Amino acid sequence: MTTAFIADLHLSPGRPDILDAFANFCEQSTGLDALYILGDLFDAWLGDDDSSDFAFQIKSQIKRLSDSGVKIYFMAGNRDFMVGERFATETGITLLPDETVINLYGERILLMHGDTLCTLDKGYLRYRRVIQNPVVTGVLRNLPLSWRMRIANKLRQSSNSQRPQLTSEQLYQMDAQHPAVLQVMEKHQVNQLIHGHTHRPAIHCFKLSDGTPAKRIVLGDWYTQASVYRASK
């Protein structure tokens, strides 16, 4: 019995290598009990009304895996928070809110995308509060898809132009912060956390405030490797 966790694939037509890796992963994963996608499956998902060949391809692959008997759960990231019920219905997945606790083979595990753990990245968190506000997303969904694409392209270009100028201190501020990790784990009364977002795959072992041993599993991205974390019973 095996459950897999993935995040930060950033699927897009411009990265056929990652598309091929995801297709291979889906074909080889029909024996899983469950698959958890913890955000940023897409480099940008602008709405469930996307009828492009790319969208159809990805939805078809997920649907085939779901139809094979694998339970698929999806938690939105900062790139694909507009994935909605229509996408879920068409692919057979179950949508999860951020900060979801699951029972994984008898253990309580907290799942997150991970961006809210980056508490020193004040600018990003302000942007997140605005762009993911239900009123704002409602307005965006009612815009023509072509308008949404232009907005997303401008945001992406702005982000890419700033990244080469980042200092080591700024990169640190964009990482998950330990006090935030402790706070959210103790809030949910768990000693294991799995998340993505930071693109810094690792397993961090530490202790909670009461001395309980704890573990934080950070999923990797798919830019250079098809990063998958598997848990088995």
- pLDDT, one tens digit per residue, over 69-96 is 999 999 999 999 999 999 999 999 999 9
Task: Work out whether strand 34-37 and strand 2-6 pair parallel, antiparallel, or are unpaired.
Answer: parallel
**Cβ-Cβ contacts under 8 Å for 117 (sequence gap 6 or more):** 176, 177, 180, 181, 184, 195, 197
Banded model confidence at residue 193, pLDDT cuts 50, 70, 90: very high
Banded model confidence at residue 157, pLDDT cuts 50, 70, 90: low
User: Is the pLDDT assigned to residue 97 strictly greater than 70?
Assistant: yes
Assign a CATH topology to domain 2-232: Purple Acid Phosphatase; chain A, domain 2 (3.60.21)
Domain residue ranges of the chain, discontinuous segments joined by +: 2-232
Whether the Cβ atoms of residue 199 and residue 8 lie closer than 8 Å to each other: yes
Banded model confidence at residue 153, pLDDT cuts 50, 70, 90: confident
The predicted model gives 107-120 an average pLDDT of 97
User: Is the pLDDT assigned to residue 17 strictly greater than 80?
Assistant: yes
For residue 158, what pLDDT is reported?
59
